[in-house]
Amino acid sequence: MNGKSCRGNSGFRQSSKTPYTLRQIPPNSSSMGVPLPVPLPSPTRAGCPGCPLSWESDTFWSTYPFHIHDVNSRYNPSYSFVSLSPPTIRSAKCLQDCGTPGEPCTWCLTLPHDVEAVRDRAGLSYGQVRVEQRLNHDQLSEKIEKLKQQVNGMKLEKLNLSRSLASARGQIYEYKMIFQYLGTHAVPGIHRMFPNALKFGWGAKMFFDRLQEAFSGDYIPRNYTQYEIDLAILLYELGGGSAVHAMNHSIFALPSRQTIEPYRREHRPKPCLSDVNVLTISQNISTMFGSHQGKDGKIRETPIKKCGHTLMFDETALHPSVEYMTSTDEMAGFCLEHVSELETLLVGKDTRSVEAAVAAVKDGKVHIAQEVTVGAIAHLARDNYGAKPIFVGPSCKKGDWRRMLEILQSALEAWNNSPDGAAKHGDIWIASSDGDYKRRIALFMLCMHSEILPGNPLYSLICDLVGFNRRVGKNNLVMDMDYRHLFKRLCTLLCSWLGMLVNGVCVNRDMLVLWFERLVNHDWSEGSIESLLHPKDAQNVSRAVQLLLCVVEIQTIDKDDLDPSEEAEFEALCLLGKVFDSLLQPFINPGLSLSEQITSLVTFAHLACGLFLQNSTSFMSNQLYGDLQTMVKAAIMMVAQTQNLDPLLDVLICLLGDNPVETLFGRTRMKGGHNPNFGPIEFLIRVASSMNMDDVYDHHPELEKKPRRLNLVRGRDADHVGPKQWRGEISAGSCNLKTCWEAGVNAAEEILRKHSVSEPKSFAEHFRKAADVDLLRPFGGKYPALSAENDRSLANVTAD
């Protein structure tokens, strides 16, 4: 760098053409070991001495960016070095001459500010310096080291990827082998091997080896799920040990008989052969509801939440035969009504008792039973609501209501006193029947002997229900008639010649044929209407519901083109349709809440009462009217009992009736396959098997093929009205009985006024006429249900 000497320092002047000399920077000042040329003046003239460079001497050579002084660098600072030892710099605008000898000129005095910017930048990490040309030796070294690490990391990543790729190719080959093997070999229990592979961390090779071992029979995956165990139990109950053995050795590899044995319970009830024995009934209660031995040999107690229960009785056909019971050395098969004519049922060591029994049968003193009476108890709960038989007695159907009352009382006594009965599970709230006349009388004697009065825990819940019959039995027991049978009996009335008299119009099958043809939503043919009104199977519940719903649908017919006579028929059919709709909806519409169900049933009860007051038995038979009102009463009492026990519990109106015991009968017949008939001992065996099937179906209802004749509605949604499928809010606490009662009464009175039914104008006034006037006794006095008149609703109905 050339410059002029400062004025006043002539003693230090040198020629302006004297060139700078290059000093060699020590090799260790550069990471490359290449000397960095720095222009320095050869003898400094007397004048401006420059400005000392403020820099740490220990790090000067490694932290100062010397290359920024390159003449071609765009970041060349506004100064240059005069000396490197000690570091001295001079401004590019240096005046060379200054007023004070030995002092820098004014331009050089400003250099510390420029140096400060360079020094601050040198103290940063390389990543914080935007321009690479401004990096010093240390920063460049740091960057190079970082790049080396990145390169090494990329090399390692490449190596790992190469190894992973090689491993993946190997696994793909192994998985292809597995896929090919599964495509050509039926491996038993393959679905259980995948959970094992996940649990034990098998690789592809280990899994392939296990597949080969399973195919050859050297490996059997035994991690059975509960579903497979239940399926094997169901298979055993339906097909026996041979079926289980076959499926155990099939590709499905279901559990063997030895595996499922600890999961099965022995539910075989003991029959009452010689008399109605409370002790025998108590033993059956313990068998059905007591604790059981688990898989590990310990006694298991099922978690129990108390709820209400239904006691139900029904009969099923029995093959008339006398059989020998090896467990008790007794003869089984004589009717319970007349078996007292025999001295003993014990066989003993000779044939005297057998010969005496033969003689009694020949003389007509004792009968061989053709039916078996079954008493069962069912939970009124969303789960485990199947019927569990506690009484089994052969019958000749020649007994009276007193014998039935004795059986009912014995069953209740056994349940109330058994440690596995009411104390553990809860009281029996309802005694249900299918409408049998003798059983109806027995139920009236059992369930109507006292009245709910102040002090009763249910009094505050039903005291404001005007017209509600408050007569109950012990522990507030009420009776119930199966609503499915009631639907069928209503259809029997409709399809009869006498029909049902509504507002002076006789609604019978001939009228219904004409009106059904006008329904726009049905593609009727003569045969389909005929099959609906004259069914081959009078016990088909879904057919009965369809018929009643068709009557309900008549309300949708356009009445503008009707003549006066047709208008009267149309009004009567619309009124009857509203009666049927209020009866059906609580049982077939799973979206209804409990309040809506009770309101609808109360509406039906008062509509039926109004029409019965107007037309008496021309509307419906005494017995059918009484049974319908009994069913509504049972539903309301069921709500009150549940509210008293636990308002959070659900109230399942659909569980009213004795359908669970009929389901039990269906399973016992299905168990027989091509031979549905059974003797007394075979019936007990099938009942025990049906109990195990009931446990399976309770957890897996989709496995059961239910009889179409017992479904409320036809089609794919036929089973969607069971307890588990009910979607509405049905907790007991959600229903206010008084509010629902008043709403139902108001709705009924409005409907009756609309259809010109003049009496009663007010149900409240009607029921206050006398103490013995209520829904069950609309005329007061004797209960219509106990009438000795012929029941028209049973004309074409036979027992199930």
Is residue 797 predicted with pLDDT exceeding 50? no
Same domain, 196 and 247: no
Q: Which of 103-117, 267-281, 711-725 has the lowest mean pLDDT?
A: 711-725
Residue 566 lies in a domain: no
Contact at 8 Å (CB) between 1 and 93? no
Residue 154 lies in a domain: yes
Residue 724 lies in a domain: no
Instruction: Give dist(CA 282, CA 273) in Å, integer.
Output: 15
DSSP E strand boundaries for 76-188: 79-84, 87-91
Is residue 29 predicted with pLDDT exceeding 80? no
Beta carbons within 8 Å of 753's beta carbon, 6+ residues apart: none
Domain around 252 = 226-263
Contact at 8 Å (CB) between 472 and 452? yes
Question: What tens digit of pLDDT does each residue of 648-704 get?
Answer: 999 999 999 999 999 999 888 888 775 677 888 999 999 988 888 888 888 888 888
Same domain, 99 and 147: no
Residue 674 lies in a domain: no
Q: Where does a domain end: 182, 197, 216?
A: 216
Q: What is the pLDDT of residue 14?
A: 35
Residue 259 lies in a domain: yes
Confidence of residue 559 (pLDDT cuts 50, 70, 90): confident
Give percent above pLDDT 70 in the chain: 89
Is residue 149 predicted with pLDDT exceeding 70? yes
Nearest to 379 by CA among 328, 451, 430: 430
Q: How far is CA 441 from the centre of its chain?
A: 40
Q: What is the pLDDT of residue 9?
A: 36
- Please compute the mean of the pLDDT values over residues 328-341 and round it to a whole number: 91
Query: Is 90 strand, coil or helix?
Result: strand
Same domain, 386 and 344: yes
Same domain, 317 and 417: yes
**What's the total number of domains in the chain?**
4
Residue 208 lies in a domain: yes
Residue 102 lies in a domain: yes
Q: Where does a domain end: 417, 445, 476?
A: 476
Query: Is 138 strand, coil or helix?
Result: helix
Q: What is the pLDDT of residue 72?
A: 84
Question: What's the mean pLDDT when you consider all of the chain?
Answer: 85
Same domain, 169 and 202: yes
Nearest to 282 by CA among 84, 417, 450: 417
Same domain, 389 and 301: yes
Question: What tens digit of pLDDT does each residue of 287-307 get?
Answer: 999 876 655 555 555 557 899
- Please compute the mean of the pLDDT values over residues 564-590 and round it to a whole number: 93
Residue 268 DSSP symbol? P
Q: What is the pLDDT of residue 451?
A: 94
Q: Where does a domain end: 423, 441, 476?
A: 476
Is residue 158 predicted with pLDDT exceeding 60? yes
Same domain, 453 and 354: yes
Same domain, 428 and 359: yes
Q: In the block, which residue shows the tokens 């298991």?
A: 300
- Please compute the mean of the pLDDT values over residues 241-246 and round it to a whole number: 90
Same domain, 123 and 147: no
Q: What angle do CA 722, 725, 729 make, to 5 degrees?
A: 105
Question: What tens digit of pLDDT does each residue of 99-147 get?
Answer: 677 788 888 888 888 888 888 888 888 888 888 888 888 889 989 999 9
What 3 state SS string does 24-55 have? CCCHHHCCCCCCCCEEECCCCCCCCCCEECCC
Number of Cβ atoms within 10 Å of the Cβ of 636: 24
Same domain, 346 and 413: yes
Give percent above pLDDT 90 in the chain: 48
Is residue 714 predicted with pLDDT exceeding 70? no
Same domain, 303 and 428: yes
Kindly state the helix (H) or strand (E) to which residue 481 belongs, with its residue range: strand 478-481
Q: In the block, which residue shows the tokens 């339906």?
A: 238
Instruction: Give dist(CA 524, CA 518) in Å, integer.
Output: 9
Instruction: Give dist(CA 419, CA 425) in Å, integer.
Output: 9
Same domain, 248 and 283: no
Residue type, 190: I
Is residue 612 predicted with pLDDT exceeding 70? yes
Residue 251 lies in a domain: yes
Instruction: Give dist(CA 629, CA 355) in Å, integer.
Output: 51
Question: What tens digit of pLDDT does each residue of 51-76 get?
Answer: 888 888 888 888 899 888 888 888 88
